[in-house]
Amino acid sequence: MSNVLIVNMPKGGHACIGHNLKGLLEQKGHVVFLDEQTAPSDMASKYSSQDVDIVIENKAKDWAEIDDIVQFAKDKQVSQFLYVSSAGIYSPSEQLPYVESDKVKNSKAQGLVEKNLSESGLTFSCFRPMYIAGPTSSKRDYTDFFFDRMSRNQPIPIPGSGEQLTSVTDARDVSAMVAAAVGASGAANQIFNCVSPRFISFNGMAKACARAMGVDPATLSLVHYDPKKLPADVDSKKAFPFRNAHFIASPAKATSLLGWTCERDLDTILRESYESFQTRGEGSKEKSFSSDQVLLAAA
């Protein structure tokens, strides 16, 4: 068993990965240190007397944030360095789903981190999540966008035709893929799409959310708007929780090299997410949908 240091963001979209991962690795007998506060430059002094065999970095979004962690890992002579990147680094492509060899934007952010890790001399692995959901997820916009409106009989604004394909993965399955790489020889110097193998359209997502709520999808008011008709002061990228394009990737490589499988299907994710939505009392909270009027006007 190994001593594993997880450098985790304290909040935000990926924070849940480290929290889930800690439990998974401890169940396997590993000693896990979950660090969400220590500055990268202080890691060496904090863990100077502590054996660290594996570092999992789930916090940095650019090289300046991870450079000191990489040097710390080298000084500790770790056996593995695992980095949680993002599928958002893929360059637009006419061929989908994305595979790990597809072109990425490696001039900045996570793309540059991946590039530099591959040249660092460390035994590394990188993971590219997409849209993370489920009851343990840190970011609930991907499901609550629909639950909020449906629970109040509001129309659902959807960009374009609504037939754009996307992929939603449970946070626990994302963490399980990273856990599967710990100590796995097949993970050495590899990059993995950390996503569900199933895809769904925006229209399909709305209907699936309705079924999770016990609502007849036929009763929904899906309003398709044209993002190009939105006023200049409206950020179309923030108006809807998914990017307005086909955005899907294949996890086949992780299945082949790590033996990973996605255990939770979308219906399970949405059912459990709606239960969480109800437990949090979101359906009864006062919420404004005034910003939707701009979208609906662009239909």
pLDDT tens for 59-73 read 999 999 999 999 999
How sure is the predictor about 140, in pLDDT bands with cuts at 50, 70 and 90? very high
The residue type found at 112 is: L
> What's the chain's average pLDDT?
96
To which residue do tokens 């899906």 refer?
222
Q: Are 169 and 129 in contact (CB under 8 A)?
A: yes
Predicted confidence at residue 13, as pLDDT, reads 78
Predicted confidence at residue 171, as pLDDT, reads 97
Query: What are the distances in angstroms from CA 152 to CA 8, 139, 147, 272, 287?
Result: 36, 21, 9, 20, 10
Predicted confidence at residue 203, as pLDDT, reads 98
Query: How many C-beta atoms surround the C-beta of residue 285 within 10 A?
Result: 9
For 194, list phi and psi in degrees, rounded to 5: -105, 70
How sure is the predictor about 11, in pLDDT bands with cuts at 50, 70 and 90? confident
Q: What's the whole-number mean pLDDT along residues 161-170?
A: 98
Q: What's the whole-number mean pLDDT along residues 152-162?
A: 97
Strand 222-225 versus strand 31-35 pairing type: unpaired
How sure is the predictor about 174, in pLDDT bands with cuts at 50, 70 and 90? very high
Predicted confidence at residue 206, as pLDDT, reads 98
Task: Kindly report, residue by residue over 22-39, the tens digit of the pLDDT.
Answer: 999 999 999 999 999 999
Q: What's the whole-number mean pLDDT along residues 174-184?
A: 98
Both tokens assigned to 189: 């110097």
pTM: 0.95
Q: Where are the alpha helices (DSSP H) in the chain?
A: 15-27, 43-46, 63-76, 109-118, 141-150, 171-181, 202-213, 236-239, 252-258, 266-279, 292-297
- Which of 296, 12, 40, 264 has its CA nearest to residue 138? 12
pLDDT at residue 106 greater than cutoff 80: no
pLDDT at residue 183 greater than cutoff 90: yes
Task: Kindly report, residue by residue over 244-291, the tens digit of the pLDDT.
Answer: 999 999 999 999 999 999 999 999 999 999 999 999 999 999 999 999
For 149, list phi and psi in degrees, rounded to 5: -75, -40
Query: What are the distances in angstroms from CA 255 to CA 114, 129, 151?
Result: 21, 15, 37
Residues comprising the chain, all counted: 299
